[in-house]
Amino acid sequence: MIELREISNVSKLVQEWRQERASVGLVMTLGALHRGHMSLVKYAQAHCNHVLATIFVNPIQFGPSEDYVIYPRSEAQDFDLLAEWGCEAVFAPTAEELFPRGERSLQDSRTLVSVKDITSILDGPVRPGHFTGVVTIVLKMLNIVAADEAYFGEKDYQQYVIIRAMAEDLFVPVRIVLCPTIREADGLAMSSRNTYLTGEQRAIAPGLYRTLCAATQELRREGIGRADAVAERATGRLLALGFDSVDYLEFRDHELALPQLGNDPRELRLFAAARLGETQLTDNLPADAEIAEP
């Protein structure tokens, strides 16, 4: 696997690939890789001639009280995993390479890319500035790598919709592709942050997925008019299961708009974030998902 640290070397490699008229797929990660990331690499490999993954813990997407410093970093192991998955190249730059003006937060950034409205709902108010930090780094990476396709996980569905909107609005010549959420055997969506959970919290965690499954079934049974009541009941269940707080639990449509009475449940998706201690777990499900009980 080709290991790259510098933007100039990424450009050279991608240029070589382009000369072969080959297609390029991009998978962006914060590292601490797991099977969710693997599935993105595999999708990219199935659709593109060359695949490049990035590993970068982006300082400007973390709020001042968030986990930037302690975010799990396991670069040597990540490189081994990517090589094992057959990923052709990895770009793992330093913060100095991507932020040469020394920016380490939104406040000291000169240029930021912000998307309105769809960033001020769900995770937006919980993590102020987060999506601006994400969208800015994603556009940087898309400009550096000039990929034909970039792959994102359904696990972070709001992020996917926001990035797709940015790419569309700014005419970024890339196809934004959504890949399904990969789960542990008990239903818990895989996440690098799951390593923060204590044994006791880990036992409670799959309750998030189970609660979302039950709530989507209830919505189908009770109808769209009951969406708020179903969501409220599900929130109560999460707290009863032992979650310390629920940041949000809401039905939205696939474009993140609020449900309308005329909606079919197939047009809706249930989004939730709940906390075990300080750790925020997020998940989302289409309301018509055929759920196999884990």
Active-site positions? Answer: 37
Q: Among 152, 196, 209, 243, indicate the residue that binds ligand AMP (CB under 6 A).
A: 152
Q: Among 81, 87, 106, 182, indicate the residue that binds ligand AMP (CB under 6 A).
A: 182
DSSP category for residue 266: G
Q: How far is the CB of 67 from ligand AMP (least distance, A)?
A: 12
The tokens describing 273, both together, are: 């974030």
Cα(152)–Cα(29) distance, integer angstroms: 9
Q: Among 192, 211, 280, 282, indicate the residue that binds ligand AMP (CB under 6 A).
A: 192
Residue 55 or residue 224: which is nearer to ligand AMP going by CB? 55
Cα(125)–Cα(224) distance, integer angstroms: 25
- Residue whose pair of structure tokens reads 């406040």 in the numeric block: 107
Residue 201 or residue 230: which is nearer to ligand AMP going by CB? 201
The tokens describing 185, both together, are: 């055997």
Judge whether 201 and 193 are in contact, CB under 8 Å. no
Q: Of 123-131, 135-143, 165-173, 189-197, which part binds ligand AMP (CB under 6 A)? A: 189-197
Residue 40 or residue 281: which is nearer to ligand AMP going by CB? 40
36 lines the binding site for ligand AMP (CB under 6 A): yes
Give, in order, the Cα–Cα distances in Å from 23 to each of 10, 16, 145.
15, 11, 12
If DSSP codes are grouped into helix, strand and coil, which group holds residue 70? coil
Q: Of 115-123, 150-158, 215-223, 225-233, which part binds ligand AMP (CB under 6 A)? A: 150-158
Q: Among 25, 129, 153, 259, indicate the residue that binds ligand AMP (CB under 6 A).
A: 153
Burial class (CB in 10 A: 0-12, 13-18, 19+), 292: exposed
Contacts with ligand AMP, residue ranges (CB under 6 A): 29-30, 36-37, 39-40, 152-153, 155-156, 179, 181-182, 189-192
